[in-house]
Structure 1
Amino acid sequence: MTDPAFEELGPVDYVVVEFPPEQANFTGEMAAELLKLVDAGIIRVIDILVVTKDADGSIEALELTDLDDLGPLARLEAELAELLAADDVAHLAAAMDPGTVAGVVVYENLWSGPFAAAARRAGGRAIANGRISAEAIIASIEADVDAVQIGA
């Protein structure tokens, strides 16, 4: 990894947000929040997909460039790497319920790039990373509150 473009590469994550058909309410708020993160230099968006999974389980993935009305996300279009392959899409879609649509965002954590580069220069290498979902944290806190209330 001697390419200067990768020297300060931070961890790359993805998030898949599924929308059941009866609950989808696209107001532009998500795009605005994503662009705030980009503008603040916190993340760099690498890829965006919209994945649909029909009731029969068939899937279709659309890159941002395939969508007609990008709205404010149009300014990201030229910067996207279209990193995800067909196998990646199939893997992500396996987690989706039939009849749903999901947005997939792959992003680099720019805030941690300098630390990751310093670790590599020191001879270190990342051997694991992970993420705890907000839902898991909320469930844990609620369980603790319930335990305290029962024990009180």
Structure 2
Amino acid sequence: MTETSLDALGPVDFLIVEFPEGQSNFTGEIADELVKLVDAGTIRVIDMLILAKDQDGVVEAMELSDLDELGPLQAIETELAELLAEEDVDKLAAAMGPGSVAGVLVYENLWAAPFASATRRAGGQLVANGRIPIQAIVASLEADQISDDFRD
């Protein structure tokens, strides 16, 4: 991470993927797909945590280096910057339900780095961004289909 010039950085995002109590099905597929994104140069993983929240709301945060068996994530673990602080963990864990486990991923969008650099050199700056949940897109497409069917 330290080898990258600040001017050359792409947008940095984070996400939290929660697995509610009793609903996780870890097969290794998630790790495999994350490694594929890194290997393809689509993203660079900056930090990654596993959070476990008990029924009383007590949160345990684990870095990848704290885990015994990393499998394909071993290659990613050596590059992590450990950017997230304890106060970040508290804020992230607030989004979790009791008894759940969550993965927190902070990553650079390498695919967008040249565009971001060109934008900064031109004097531009990011003032807003967002993400549309896939459920909202599906609902919108279904509503459009129903509307089209009704017109026919």
Q: Provide the TM-score with structure 1 as the length reference.
A: 0.91
Q: Which amino acid aligns with 2:54?
A: D
Partner residue, 2:70: 70
Q: Which moved more, 1:139-148 or 1:45-54?
A: 139-148
| Deviation of 1:149 (Å) | 4.7
Match of 2:119 in 1: 119
Q: Kindly provide the amino acid, as one letter, of the partner of residue 128 in structure 1.
A: A
Partner of 2:137: 137
Kindly state the Cα deviation for residue 13 of structure 1 after the two structures are TM-superposed.
Answer: 0.8
One-letter amino acid matched to 2:33: E
In 2, Cα distance between equivalents of 1:56 and 1:146: 44
Which secondary structure state, in structure 2, belongs to the residue aligned with residue 114 of structure 1? helix
Shift of 1:16: 0.9
Amino acid at match of 2:81: A
**Which residues of structure 2 form unaligned runs of 5+?**
none
Offset at residue 148 of structure 1 (A) = 4.2
2:49 maps to 49
Amino acid at match of 2:96: M
The 1:57/1:147 distance shift into structure 2, 3 A limit, reads farther
Q: By how many angstroms is 1:14 displaced?
A: 1.1
Match of 1:14 in 2: 14
Distance 1:119 1:89, change over 3 A: same
Query: What SS class does the counterpart of residue 107 from structure 2 fall into?
Result: strand
CA RMSD of aligned residues (A): 1.7
The aligned residue for residue 109 of structure 2 is 109
CA distance in 2, matches of 1:48, 1:90: 15
**CA deviation profile, 1:32-55 (whole Å, cap 9, x unmatched):** 100110011000000111001111
**Number of residue pairs matched by the alignment:** 150
* Alignment pair present for 1:85 and 2:82: no
Query: Unaligned 5+ residue runs, structure 1?
Result: none
| Cα offset, 1:150, TM superposition | 5.5
Cα distance in 1 between the residues matched to 2:132 and 2:148: 23
Residue 120 of structure 1 aligns with an amino acid whose one-letter code is: R
1:61 equivalent to 2:47? Answer no
Q: Distance in 1 between matches of 2:88 and 2:151?
A: 46
